[in-house]
Amino acid sequence: MIGLVFVSHSRLIADGLCQLADQMAGGEVKMAPAGGLGDDIHVLGTDATLILAAIESVWSEDGVLLLVDMGSAVMSAEMALDFLPDEKRRLCLISNAPLVEGAIVAALHAGMGDSLHDTNLAAEDALNARKVVRMAEYVKCEM
Amino acid sequence: MDKPTDGAPPAPPEKQEYSATVTVNDPQGLHLRTSKDVVRVASQYQAEITAQNLSRSSGQVDVKSILQLMQLQARQGHVLLLQAVGPDAADALAALCALFQRPRSPISAGAGS
């Protein structure tokens, strides 16, 4: 079973996501938050060392999927992967999925035993998922 | 249902096709946590399973995708049409119908739930 790491500028977001995703996975998936910078929970930022520790804490030979918010979260995640030995780095993947939806979907699919690749594909589907369909969109189709 | 005429080859089992309607009985509607159970049950079957929210005249969505299930925006009382095609379609629908008929005890009900 793969492991999951949630990288956010906010520790509160990363911790909260862990709580939400854990429920979707039925407590069966190893997951870790890597949010914020330093000891103060309200300081925003991302920290490669924290991300690296999170990867190690959920490490699995099946791989680790990293879900990130944006900007320096991606760069810090890449830096964390650079610290890993080659044989571990190639089993890690940074997802393009949006953080919240991706975490929910990834936790569910990881919990069903899906591979790193399949879990990421399902999570990245969230890029195209509509939340609401507005009447205006039907009108536009008719114009 | 039509029975095959004499001499005609029996219908191959992989062409099984079933449908059923279920009513959402959860006061919170088909929410994230119950949808998770639907995906988990549906994913145990090979059959392709779709759902359509008849109460909203929605399009068909893939029941094995939690993202698509959320798009049904199903509230309590909404009627869903489930359709399954595949070798284990009947079993898949029976399992899903049982899931929707299961009495709910929402977490918000507090102690004892």
Ranges of each domain in chain B: 14-104
Distances (CA, A) of B65 to A14, A81, B2, B32, B93: 24, 30, 33, 12, 16
Compare all CA atoms of chain B with the CA of A127 and give the residue at the minimum distance: B67
Compare all CA atoms of chain A with the CA of B42 and give the residue at the minimum distance: A112
Condensed to tens digits (0 to 9), the pLDDT of residues A18-65 reads 999 999 998 899 999 999 998 898 999 999 999 999 999 999 999 999
Q: What are phi and psi of A119, to 5 degrees?
A: -65, -45
A76/chain B closest Cα distance in angstroms: 28
What was the pLDDT predicted at B11?
55
**Type of residue found at B36:** K
What single string gives the DSSP state of each residue in A34-95? EESSSS-TT-----HHHHHHHHHHT--TT-EEEEE-STHHHHHHHHHHHHS-HHHHTTEEE-
Residues from chain B contacting residue A130 (CB–CB below 8 Å): 71
* CATH code at A3-142: 3.40.50.510
Q: What is the mean pLDDT of residues B41-51?
A: 97
B17/chain A closest Cα distance in angstroms: 25
What was the pLDDT predicted at A136?
55
Residue A109 appears among annotated catalytic residues: no
Instruction: State the ipTM, two decimals.
Output: 0.84
Instruction: Give residue B113's pLDDT band: very low, low, confident or very high (50, 70, 90).
Output: very low
User: Minimal CA–CA distance to A67: which of A38, A30, A104, A118?
Assistant: A104
What was the pLDDT predicted at B24?
95
Ranges of each domain in chain A: 3-142
In which residue are the tokens 């189709």 written?
Answer: A141
User: Minimal CA–CA distance to B82: which of B5, B4, B21?
Assistant: B21
What was the pLDDT predicted at B9?
60
CB-based contact A108 B36, cutoff 8 Å: yes
Angle at A104 between CA B44 and CA A62, to 5 degrees: 65
Condensed to tens digits (0 to 9), the pLDDT of residues A54-86 reads 999 999 999 999 999 999 999 999 999 999 999
Angle at A126 between CA A125 and CA A130, to 5 degrees: 115
- Predicted TM-score (pTM) of the model is 0.84
Flag whether pLDDT at B112 surpasses 60: no
Q: What is the mean pLDDT of residues B99-103?
A: 81
CB-based contact A105 B67, cutoff 8 Å: yes
CATH topology of domain B14-104: Histidine-containing Protein; Chain: A; (3.30.1340)
